Structure 1
Amino acid sequence: MKFFRTIALCLLMGAAIGVSAQTEAGDDLDSKYATELIKPGTVAPDFNMVTPSGEKFQFSAFAKGKTVVLDFWASWCPDCRKDAPEVVRLYQTYHQKGVAFLGISMDTDVEAWKNAIGKFGIEYPQVSELKKFKETDIAKAYGVKWIPSMVVIAPDGKVVFSTVDLTKLERYLKEL
């Protein structure tokens, strides 16, 4: 009987190791959700949007000569709300090192957008088209099919990195 328990235990442990390896390999969020994100080497499309207070905003004027992280998010998005404190932390760490952040909201409700900015203590500039996510020109231009998504633009105006995974973004920023 002891022999069969030992064999069963070994089989269970082997199965657990196999499941763990599959989970780690299968958890590449970019392979699931970032397949259409704008690719490195592409010139970042310029855009005009509005701030939460209704002011006009032009990306090319803001980004000129800077490294910029575009943070695509929305107040109604559960994953965005979960990641917001980490994005704020990354901003606080890297804006002092010359990296600018720009939030691109997929919100249609200005008050919900403003409330989320306040709730999460987001200090970096925010813009939106105030249209439904799938109807925005910005999502089409940058290939955003999933939020949150992050795109890094180099000072020369070209995309250098894009991901839906904050740990990958942080690794990339550490290497800068």
Structure 2
Amino acid sequence: MVAIAIRAAEPKYVLVMGVCGVGKSTIAQEIADRVGGTFVEADDHHSAGNKQTMIGGTPLTDEQRWPWLEAVANAASDEFSQNGEPVFIACSALKRRYRAFLREKLGSLSIVYLSGAPELIRRRLEDRQSHFMPPRLLDSQLSDLEEPGPDEEGITVDIDCDPEHLVREICERLGLGGSHSR
């Protein structure tokens, strides 16, 4: 008998998560472009009040995050319904319960956890321009971070390399081919 390798179906939803400054948006957008998927930027779904809270240097509470996560899930679901392509979501989703909420709303959810040394992330934040998230909130994000567990259908990727390398590694590890490969 000949064994035949069957490639798993590409995921409908991929959450690219981590603390501020790890490159979630850049990586999620690049993967979506590469494989012919769509991109959802969670930051676009924060209320004006949430953004003002963060600009002021105050971390969001869970109560402030739930409506935001609902809006992110709705946007991702709408994108998939309209386009039928995999949806790549750039969202911090720091706590396990936030990821469980997204999974409950979306169904299957593959996770890409972008991890890096706090010093590297802090440097990136200090170099970043025109973003509402100030570098001083990094410590609160690191404190809130619950790294994905082995039961969460995910991979962890170290950000200490160029984005092109990260995108290739993520696509390979998730089995993402797509029609627009570079």
TM-score band, normalised by shorter chain: 0.3 to 0.5
- Larger proportion of strand: 1
TM-score norm. by structure 1 comes to 0.33
Q: TM-score, normalized by length of structure 2?
A: 0.32
Q: Which has the larger radius of gyration?
A: 1
Greater RCO (CA < 8 Å, at least 6 residues apart): 2
